[in-house]
Structure 1
Amino acid sequence: MADADAIAFLQKQTTADGTSLYGHLTRVLSKVLGEKPNEAVDLLETSLLVKKTAFEAQESAPLVPVSATADAAKTVATATLFGNPDLPIDPETGEPIESEATNDYEAEDVVGNGRLFDALGVGLGTHEMYNIALTLKKLGEDPKRGVQNVRFFGKFFGLYADYYVFETTINDMPTIPEAPEGSVPYEDNTGTNEHVYFVCNYLGGPMTQLPIVTPDQIKAARLLKKLLTGRLDSLVSTYPLFPGNEANYLRAQIARIACTTVLAPNGQFTTNDENEPEPNEEFEGLPGRDLAETSNWVHKLPHIKKQGRCVVHKREEPEDDENFEFTEEEQEEGPEPLTSVEDDTPIADGSPAWTPLYSSSNEGVKYQVGGLRSNLWPGAYVSGKDKQSASIYVGWGIKNAPFVPLPPPDIAQEFDQALVESLELPPKPEEPEEKEEEEEN
């Protein structure tokens, strides 16, 4: 082989990173001639070894970059939802510790509800609904929680993390504290506090029980428009001041959204002698396409009054005060239970409160799914077919209404400094007579 052919061959044979053997040997020889080391042969062998190791490391590198630590934690948490968890080992005996018996609970068909929303092109998708169903199962079977009923409420988006919200009733309902003197009492496991809510930032992650909601928090939330951060202990830095942190603010938004957008097909519930909703055993369901009409849906939960409660609290009327009058909030009379959605007030721009949704524009298609989309709370949907129906919320927790910030408080009056000086300072002394006589002379 001629010298030109040999050089051409060495220049042609390149590695994966584009470096030829001729180029690599040229750089090594230049380094040897420039530095003139004592162990030139060892330097040549080391250079070839390093080049081979780098090439092998590049060949074995994963095609997909390794995700961040937070994403890896989410992946591991979601993976633990599948299969049976490993039992802890007793350090003394080395045997697995028997787990407690699972809790008995009731739940909606989460995967079936996901299919209803998929048919309408809304919701979170079948894949995520499967993971939600497993997370719900983990929450319901936890004997420490004591869940009786559980439902997937929805997903709130946050700036740094999201919230998956689960609506439950538990065996040991939380003890409602007494409200401060002079304020409106809290609802005792009824109305806005009828359910207990659990949230997690990612499916399979740790669950946190949200606190109860107070009337003052609901009234303050109505005056705000704020994005969630995804951190429950974050401060809600707003004006007017919100009485609580982000966990309280999220709980107030859940109560407002639930009482407005959680619906039931007309006829699924009836009212009893105490004017409270109860299931109707004779309900036969409605065709899916009929459930795209507002006249076929009713509000399942009671309306929140201006007072921040579902049931208005009235003060005791004093016997001696003839001029006593109830406030406007105490005189409010809300809508009756199971009010039709057709009577909902349109939003600010005049659009209807709800928009119909169909799984197909063709009326002749069988087994259709129908539903409604809330225009007041973007991200709230209801869907149904026959006897199955569901409600879900997927959004930022922002109401579609004009936001008018409250004006700042009145400027405090200036301190009457002149009056203070005239009252507190001693009178000005008169000039002595001797001084006056000297001036005359």
Structure 2
Amino acid sequence: MPGVKENQLQEAVAFLQKTGSTGGNSVYEHLTKVVWKILQERPADAVDLLETSYLAKQTNFEAKQPTAPLLTQEQVEKSYSKAAAKLFGNPDVPTDSETGEPVESEAANEYECENVMGDAAMFDAVGAGLGRTEMYGIMLAVKQLGETPALGVATVRFFGKVLGTHADYYVFETTLKEPVEEEEEALGPNDVPMEKGSGSNGYVYFVCNQLGGPLSRLPSVKPTHIKKARQLKKFVTGKLDAPVSAYPPFPGTEAHFLRAQIARIAATTVLCPVGYFNAGEEGALEKAEEFTPQPAAEMGSAASWSHRYPHLKKQGRCALFVKEAEEGAEEKEPTEEESEAGPEALSTLDKDAEVAGGEGWSPVFSSSNQNVKFQVAGVRSNLWPGALAVTSGAAFSNIYVGWGIKNAPFVPMPPPPVATEYDQALVESKDLPVRPEPEAPPAEDAEAADE
């Protein structure tokens, strides 16, 4: 080390060799083991492993197996340091393993998204959202998701954050340039097919537990998932492959349950200012050519907001499905689910049902002084706590941050009926049955016996 005398270097080494913990290890021994471990395995992310070397200190490098790695692959992928480095660092340039030369990568995918940091400022003004720091990481995650060529994303919107018992889900709402290939459904005679590319499956959702971590695409939602989810009141764990332990049994894993909850929340709480969209043919929304924002004082009213997404009906679909009668069979009257008449497109919030005897939406403002310029106003859902819609001028945005629990009375489903008792005639008896009479032998056998 230049500029350091030999006696100073010896004193520094001696200081590092002093016992520095109750376990009897010194800083010198700990750093030696960390460097030796890195030299043995030569990982590509050596800096990340060095930053997480405190894990090695906790185990003293005394693994039961001498060849055990410092961290398992799953731990490395889920570590915050690696996710943050991937999110905030420069993208890795792929190289040829034989020549070591950089390989030309695919061009970044072109996509559209909302102004994430502008939305963060509006949420922050009303005291909601996730804060500027976390929203900056979300902005980078949106960029990462949208630019990935393999995903083929056309639009990206940050839906929100669903809290879990073990980990949380960051949810991103997207549309894809190519439709998702769906597997053929095995439907029973009374099953309802799911919507493809519209209605409850009009958007594709990606989730991750850490910003910058691996993204997972949620499966398409089926009507049976939505109908079963409405009968449950359950927290998510943060593990997509976890079973949903509940009664009545849920037909799928937590990934299907989370997707059903997102569909329910989105259909109820994603809003737009009145007049921003016009309902086109077949319920499609078209942006109005001329839109005049209302004063901020009026945007705290439920009558100033409309539902942007179609209503999710009891059938588990946005568009009703009525099974066609077979040829020659009599037409049956539609059931209650098949004849449900939902609200019209872009219905206003003042038509929503009450929640716990009160209004379904509460107003929020960035300031109690209505004369403040650049006022941010909006409404907060009382049915799905954590859902919020805000606007400032012509800009508006929606977000959900909550546990995925609906604010409604929960009545558990009753258990199935008890099996009926056996008929009294089938009860076991000690009486012996009547002995049957012996059968008479055939005539030929009888003549042979006489001879």
Alpha-carbon offset, residue 396 of structure 1 = 0.4
* CA contact 2:175–2:203 (8 Å) conserved in 1: yes
* CA contact 2:363–2:377 (8 Å) conserved in 1: yes
* Aligned pair partner of 1:158 in 164, 171, 174: 164
* Aligned pair partner of 1:427 in 434, 438, 442: 434
Query: Is 2:245 the partner of 1:280?
Result: no
* CA contact 2:17–2:28 (8 Å) conserved in 1: no
The aligned counterpart of 1:362 is 369
Q: Distance in 1 between matches of 2:17 and 2:84?
A: 39
The aligned counterpart of 1:73 is 79
Q: Flag the 1:237–1:163 CA change in 2: closer, same or farther, 3 A.
A: same
The aligned counterpart of 2:8 is none
Alpha-carbon offset, residue 225 of structure 1 = 0.3
Alpha-carbon offset, residue 178 of structure 1 = 3.1
Q: Distance in 1 between matches of 2:330 and 2:95?
A: 73
* CA contact 1:286–1:385 (8 Å) conserved in 2: no
Q: Distance in 2 between matches of 1:99 and 1:425?
A: 86
TM (norm. structure 1) is 0.80
The aligned counterpart of 1:181 is 188
Rg (Cα) greater in structure = 1
* CA contact 2:162–2:170 (8 Å) conserved in 1: yes
State which drifts further: 378-387 or 78-87.
Answer: 78-87
Alpha-carbon offset, residue 65 of structure 1 = 11
* Aligned pair partner of 1:372 in 356, 373, 379: 379
* Cα deviation digits, residues 129-187 of structure 1 (max 9, x gap): 00000001000000000000010000011111110000000012212333513210111
Alpha-carbon offset, residue 66 of structure 1 = 7.7
The aligned counterpart of 2:18 is 53
1:241-260 superposed matches below 5 A = 241-260=249-268
Q: Distance in 2 between matches of 1:102 and 1:266?
A: 36
* CA contact 2:325–2:331 (8 Å) conserved in 1: no
Q: Distance in 2 between matches of 1:61 and 1:112?
A: 46
Alpha-carbon offset, residue 67 of structure 1 = 7.0
The aligned counterpart of 2:206 is 198
> Structure 2: any 5+ residue segments left out of the alignment?
1-13, 32-50, 56-70, 438-451
Which secondary structure state, in structure 2, belongs to the residue aligned with residue 168 of structure 1? strand
Which secondary structure state, in structure 2, belongs to the residue aligned with residue 418 of structure 1? helix
TM (norm. structure 2) is 0.78
* Aligned pair partner of 2:415 in 403, 408, 431: 408
Q: Flag the 1:358–1:59 CA change in 2: closer, same or farther, 3 A.
A: farther
The aligned counterpart of 2:131 is 125
* Cα deviation digits, residues 181-221 of structure 1 (max 9, x gap): 32101111110011000000000000000000000000000
The aligned counterpart of 2:99 is 93
The aligned counterpart of 2:270 is 262
* Aligned pair partner of 2:425 in 413, 418, 431: 418
Q: Flag the 1:358–1:61 CA change in 2: closer, same or farther, 3 A.
A: farther
The aligned counterpart of 1:382 is 389
Q: Distance in 2 between matches of 1:324 and 1:367?
A: 58
Count of residues in Structure 1 that have an aligned counterpart in Structure 2: 380
The aligned counterpart of 1:113 is 119
AA matched with 2:104: E
The aligned counterpart of 1:207 is 215
* CA contact 1:179–1:185 (8 Å) conserved in 2: no
> Structure 1: any 5+ residue segments left out of the alignment?
1-48, 431-441
Q: Flag the 1:324–1:109 CA change in 2: closer, same or farther, 3 A.
A: same
Which secondary structure state, in structure 2, belongs to the residue aligned with residue 292 of structure 1? coil
Alpha-carbon offset, residue 59 of structure 1 = 12
* CA contact 1:179–1:186 (8 Å) conserved in 2: no
Which secondary structure state, in structure 1, belongs to the residue aligned with residue 18 of structure 2? helix
